[in-house]
Amino acid sequence: MAQKKLFYGWVIVGILCFVNMVPIVLIANYASFFQMPVCETLSVTYAEFAIGSMFGSFGGILFSLFMAGRLGRGNTRVWMSACMAIAAICEFLLSFMTAIWQYWVLQFLLTFAFTGCMFLPINTLLARWFVDKKGLATGIVYAGAGIGGMILSPVLKTSIEMVGWRMSYVYIAAITVACAVLVFLLVRNRPEDVGQKPLMSEATKHAVDEGGEAAQKATVTKGLTRAEALKTPSLWFLLLCIFCGGIMAAAVTSQLPTFVSENGGDYALVMVLYSFAMIFAKFALGPIFDAKGIMFGSTTIVVLTALSLIGFLLFPEFGIVFACIGAVLLAFNCVSSFIGPLANGRLFGYLAFADCYGLINIAFLLGCMVGPTIVATIRTISGSYTLAWLVLLVITMLIEVGIAFAMKLGKNLPEKWHS
């Protein structure tokens, strides 16, 4: 009896999970670990250091706007490994900086390049390799960030304390180069590169077989162009959904430690629970999206995110347990990981998946830029976070409004897909 051949897409999932677990955590998620030592060395304020994040966001937006289409039409494996290598060079150069303007410039270049290693190529590859079980594959890949966060947080903190921030940047650069080599050697652009076809359920295969080879190819090559997608109200409602999701993602996580501390809680405990819950959330949401569909999965995210904010509202009056519950539920705010890529493929197909996803990524980055400012400003003016959480409850409802109208108005869009 012939042994069933391993579907190579699961190897791709493993590599992408590792990318989320190591370089993305070290470069994108834990940049703030360097704030205090860098500011002390360069004699600058935290506000001046934070300007680097704005420069980085602009870099990510420019990449998404001008390079997403080229990445999607090119060899994603080559793009991803090359961008990772450039990011490693920027990390290495950070170890030599002597003035804060150098940090701003390098953050711009670093994030511009590193955008070519994160959401855009990851979701493009998943779209090519998986017709079915896409939610499960997505969940596994993005669970890597939670796992990496749990492991690497104390490692990076110890490294900065033991060998200093300059040498820690060098270590991150070396690790990133190694990951770039791993991606180049093991990632494959499309299933056809290894003589396979995208993963499909038996029901999908049967439907495809009825339509012949042309129908099979159409499942991963048909769609709308970015220009055509921009003319649909569905894309604009989806962008509203993702923009609000970006506000939530950045606003709450950036302010949560301060909020908990101000109210006499242990923020370390809350953030550890948040990291643990992130791992579970990614694994749990994948099967939910696969089995119940985009709208059910999106509503699940919105409801749990709203409940997390209610937990934060109750925390000052009723104790730390409500902050912990809120942190656990907040981990399900996976708008960018699930709603964005899955809705993009469902509505606009795969002809210009990366081009359209570039716009989605811009919306998310813009949300991440304004979110912390909104919450911090409300906190400064009102003197507490209560009003901020109430405003974010409204923004959370807009996530549901955006995806609901996007899906409803776009239900007939697949009829307009073309090669």
Task: Give the tens place of pLDDT for each residue, 136-159.
Answer: 998 899 888 888 887 887 888 889
- 295 with 163, same domain: the answer is no
AA identity, residue 164: G
Which residue, of 173, 189, 205, is where some domain finishes?
189
Number of domains the chain is built from: 2
Q: What CATH number does the domain containing 312 carry?
A: 1.20.1250.20
* Average pLDDT of the chain to the nearest whole number: 88
Picking from 2-6, 25-29, 82-86, 109-113, which range would have the lowest pLDDT averaged per residue? 2-6
Mean pLDDT of 40-54: 85
Element (H, E) at 182: helix 165-186
- 226 with 296, same domain: the answer is yes
Residue 187 has pLDDT above 90, yes or no: yes
What's the confidence (pLDDT) of residue 210? Answer: 53
The size of the chain, in residues, is 419
Mean pLDDT of 88-99: 96
- 259 with 127, same domain: the answer is no
Mean pLDDT of 6-13: 93
Q: What is the DSSP string of 9-38?
A: HHHHHHHHHHHHHTHHIIIIISGGGGHHHH
- 254 with 387, same domain: the answer is yes
pLDDT digits (tens, 9 = 90+) for 202-253: 655 555 555 544 444 445 568 999 999 999 999 999 999 999 999 998 888 7
Q: How confident is the model at residue 199 (pLDDT cuts 50, 70, 90)?
A: confident
Mean pLDDT of 307-318: 94
Q: How confident is the model at residue 404 (pLDDT cuts 50, 70, 90)?
A: very high
What's the confidence (pLDDT) of residue 33? Answer: 80
Q: How confident is the model at residue 163 (pLDDT cuts 50, 70, 90)?
A: very high
Q: Is residue 172 part of a domain?
A: yes
pLDDT higher for 105 or 353? 105
Residue 9 has pLDDT above 90, yes or no: yes
Q: Is residue 418 part of a domain?
A: no
pLDDT digits (tens, 9 = 90+) for 361-394: 899 989 988 888 888 888 888 888 899 999 999 9
Share of the chain above pLDDT 90, in %: 49
What angle is formed at CA 182 by the lines to CA 176 and CA 188, rounded to 5 degrees?
A: 130
Q: What is the DSSP string of 316-350?
A: HHH-HHHHHHHHHHHTT--IIIIIHHHHHHHHHBS
- 182 with 232, same domain: the answer is no
Query: Of 182, 190, 247, nearest to 398 (Cα)?
Result: 247
Coarse DSSP helix, strand, coil percentages of the chain, rounded to the nearest 5 percent: 85, 0, 15
Identify the domain containing residue 334 by its residue range: 222-408
What's the confidence (pLDDT) of residue 205? Answer: 58
DSSP classification of residue 131: S
User: What are phi and psi for residue 129, nearest 5 degrees?
Assistant: -90, -25
Q: Is residue 247 part of a domain?
A: yes
Number of H helices, E strands in the chain: 19, 0
What's the confidence (pLDDT) of residue 214? Answer: 44
- 277 with 352, same domain: the answer is yes
What's the confidence (pLDDT) of residue 127? Answer: 86
- 139 with 261, same domain: the answer is no
Mean pLDDT of 274-296: 88
- 68 with 171, same domain: the answer is yes
What's the confidence (pLDDT) of residue 51? Answer: 83
Mean pLDDT of 329-339: 87
Cβ(90)–Cβ(109) below 8 Å: yes
What's the confidence (pLDDT) of residue 151? Answer: 84
Q: Is residue 399 part of a domain?
A: yes
Residue 124 has pLDDT above 80, yes or no: yes
- 159 with 254, same domain: the answer is no
Query: Of 198, 188, 187, nearest to 130 (Cα)?
Result: 198
- 387 with 287, same domain: the answer is yes
- 97 with 166, same domain: the answer is yes
What's the confidence (pLDDT) of residue 206? Answer: 53
Q: Is residue 216 part of a domain?
A: no
Q: Is residue 130 part of a domain?
A: yes
